[in-house]
Amino acid sequence: MSTNSENPLNIRPPKGLSKSEKTSFRDGIRRYFEGFEAISQWEIDALVDLIRAQSRVEALQKMLNAEVQEMRENFRPYSVDLIAVCRQLDSSTRLAAKLADRLKRAPL
């Protein structure tokens, strides 16, 4: 397992992350790795996976809120789309929780 020998707080966010995800990456580095002398590439990858899962949860929550609002405004019953978004949100939330737990228990 390769390790990054620089101070974890100085690690740059990977390319391909949005601006808000880069901010979350920096916050995650501080939260999970402050005080570490070095972190592995696995731990960086795990943090990126967690951030992407959390971003997906946020996006799905916005979609769910918009779908519920539209449903209420148009007085229509639950739709297949609403149920699909609920299932995806549930699945993504469980994945984010699992990734966060795994990251907390990451080997040094």
Q: Are 33 and 39 in contact (CB under 8 A)?
A: yes
> Could you give the CA distance from residue 43 to residue 94 in angstroms, rounded to a whole number?
19
Output the pLDDT for position 6.
Answer: 61
Output the pLDDT for position 1.
Answer: 41
**Does pTM top 0.85 for this prediction?**
no
Q: Are 95 and 50 in contact (CB under 8 A)?
A: no
**pLDDT tens for each residue of 18-73:** 999 999 999 998 888 877 777 888 888 999 999 999 999 999 999 999 988 988 88
Output the pLDDT for position 2.
Answer: 46
Q: Both ends of the chain: CA-CA distance in Å? A: 11
Q: Are 8 and 34 in contact (CB under 8 A)?
A: yes
- Beta-carbon contacts of 18 under 8 Å, excluding residues fewer than 6 positions away, are 55
